[in-house]
């Protein structure tokens, strides 16, 4: 336990929206962390995800959310599906 840590912290505010510019190593780690936040209804949270890159094989070993099914697909689309969005109707 670190100094100043309190197990009984009451969160008064959690953001209703997040904007992620890039879904590489840090962007995916941030998105994963957002997924851990204790929202009473996560369906009310808006995620704005931007990344023009597609996932590659090399991303599998270093990016926390990337799965084999993401390879060749736009990172933003795959991350949106991970966040609960319906799968897009295109190949990217």
Cα–Cα distance, 66 to 44 (Å, whole number): 24
Residues 50, 74 contacting (CB under 8 angstroms) = no
> Given this model, what pLDDT does residue 11 score?
72
- Judging by DSSP bridges, how do beta strands 46-50 and 17-21 pair with one another? parallel
Q: Where are the domains of the chain?
A: 18-33+44-82
Cα–Cα distance, 6 to 60 (Å, whole number): 36
E strand segments, the chain: 17-21, 46-50
> Given this model, what pLDDT does residue 91 score?
54
Per-residue pLDDT of the chain (92 residues; tens, 9 = 90+): 455 556 667 777 899 999 999 999 999 999 999 999 999 898 899 999 999 999 999 999 999 999 999 999 999 999 999 998 887 665 55
> Given this model, what pLDDT does residue 53 score?
97
> Given this model, what pLDDT does residue 90 score?
56
């Amino acid at each position: 336990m670190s100094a100043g840590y309190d197990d009984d912290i009451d969160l008064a505010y959690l953001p209703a929206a997040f904007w992620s510019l890039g879904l590489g190593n840090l962007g995916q780690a941030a998105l994963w962390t957002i997924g851990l936040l204790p929202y009473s209804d996560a369906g009310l949270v808006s995620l704005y995800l931007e990344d023009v890159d597609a996932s590659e094989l090399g991303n599998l070993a270093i990016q926390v959310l990337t799965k084999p099914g993401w390879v060749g697909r736009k990172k933003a689309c795959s991350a949106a599906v991970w966040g609960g969005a319906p799968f897009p109707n295109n190949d990217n």
